[in-house]
């Protein structure tokens, strides 16, 4: 995709920490970093081609839907770029408190009158701190997506640091060969996966659990996409899209 990023304003909303006696945590999530990643993605698509840009900016585990879920780099390998890449503009960005993951959402325009929506999950890379995408999807629309003149950026609330007794013994340092520590728990629960026979459904989350997402492909090909953000002490649904399979519409 050729992702041109014309935007007038980035409205960054960083919720205030809850008023309690625990020390606040400064959020590291920065929606502007994802706008920069999208802009670089667009420039690469213009210069090197749509599918080349997708492959170069994806993680090795990145997935896309064609229309079934597939590993992006497997599907993209050797694929010829279209003569003209599509254009797109993110209109909303959601990021975890720790900045380890974020989701963009916006509109795209293809050849002729083709228009639609897209949503991409970005993951911060540990070595360089840059962002690469891990999940990308979208769908056609009969009319252009509304509300794309401005970019809204929201960062999850940060869980307050727990109380700690400074006189308490520090946990022992792990030794070589010890199993890794268990993953950090989610900041809050999200609805359980639906038990639909034949459905392909996966959940993902940021390292701190303050951003979570679910992608589902139903047996007939219809896709469901949901994103949650930790706000006001619970996981709130901030994005919900259903893309009806063409053979079902």
- Of 204 and 150, the structure prediction assigns the larger pLDDT to 204
Listed as own residue / partner, the contacts of 239-244 with beta carbons closer than 8 Å and 24 or more positions apart are 239/92, 239/94, 239/103, 239/105, 239/119, 241/117, 241/119, 241/139, 243/137, 243/138, 243/139
Which bin fits 210, alpha (ψ -120 to 50), beta or left (φ > 0)? alpha
pLDDT at 169: 47
pLDDT at 34: 95
pLDDT at 247: 63
Integer Cα distance of 169 and 17 in angstroms: 29
- Of 175 and 198, the structure prediction assigns the larger pLDDT to 198
Mean pLDDT (whole number) for 228-248? 90
**Each residue's pLDDT tens digit, 128-174:** 999 999 999 999 998 888 877 789 999 999 986 554 444 444 555 66
pLDDT at 18: 42
Mean pLDDT (whole number) for 232-246? 93
Query: What domains appear along the chain, each with residue ranges and CATH number?
Result: 10-159 (3.10.450.50)
pLDDT at 176: 65
pLDDT over 80 at 241, yes or no = yes
pLDDT at 230: 96
pLDDT at 39: 85
Ranges 70-74, 146-150, 198-202, 209-213: which has the least confidence: 146-150
pLDDT at 159: 80
Q: And the tokens for 4?
A: 């041109």
pLDDT at 123: 97
Is the separation of the CB atoms in 56 and 43 below 8 Å?
Answer: no
Is the separation of the CB atoms in 44 and 52 below 8 Å?
Answer: yes
pLDDT at 189: 84
pLDDT at 9: 39
**Each residue's pLDDT tens digit, 40-91:** 998 898 899 999 999 999 999 999 999 899 999 999 999 999 999 988 889 9
Integer Cα distance of 114 and 102 in angstroms: 27
pLDDT at 161: 59
Which residues fall within 8 angstroms of residue 80, CB to CB, at 6 or more apart? 51
**Each residue's pLDDT tens digit, 91-142:** 999 999 999 999 999 999 888 888 999 999 999 999 899 999 999 999 999 8
Is the separation of the CB atoms in 135 and 62 below 8 Å?
Answer: yes
Phi, psi values for residue 119, rounded to 5°: -150, 135
**Each residue's pLDDT tens digit, 16-47:** 444 444 445 778 899 999 999 988 998 898 89
Mean pLDDT (whole number) for 232-248? 89
pLDDT, averaged across the chain:
83
């Amino acid at each position: 995709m050729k992702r041109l990023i014309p935007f007038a304003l980035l409205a960054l909303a960083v919720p205030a920490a809850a008023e309690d006696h625990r020390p606040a945590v400064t959020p590291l999530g920065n929606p502007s970093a994802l706008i920069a990643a999208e802009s670089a993605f667009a420039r690469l698509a213009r210069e090197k081609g749509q599918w080349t840009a997708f492959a170069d900016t994806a993680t090795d585990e990145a997935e896309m839907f064609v229309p079934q879920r597939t590993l992006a780099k497997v599907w993209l390998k050797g694929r010829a770029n279209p003569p003209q890449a599509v254009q797109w503009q993110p209109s909303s960005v959601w990021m975890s408190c720790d900045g380890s993951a974020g989701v963009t959402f916006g509109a795209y325009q293809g050849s002729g009158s083709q228009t639609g929506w897209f949503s991409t999950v970005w993951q911060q890379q540990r070595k360089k701190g840059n962002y690469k995408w891990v999940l990308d999807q979208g769908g056609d629309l009969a009319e252009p997506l509304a509300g794309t003149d401005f970019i809204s950026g929201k960062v999850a609330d940060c869980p307050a640091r727990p109380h700690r007794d400074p006189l308490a013994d520090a946990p022992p340092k792990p030794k070589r060969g010890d199993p890794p520590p268990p993953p950090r728990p989610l900041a809050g629960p999200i609805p359980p996966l639906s038990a639909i026979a034949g459905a392909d459904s996966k959940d993902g989350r940021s390292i701190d659990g303050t951003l979570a997402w679910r992608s589902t492909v139903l047996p007939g090909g219809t896709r469901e996409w949901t994103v949650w953000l930790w706000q006001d002490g619970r996981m709130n649904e901030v994005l919900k899209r259903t893309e009806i399979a063409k053979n079902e519409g």
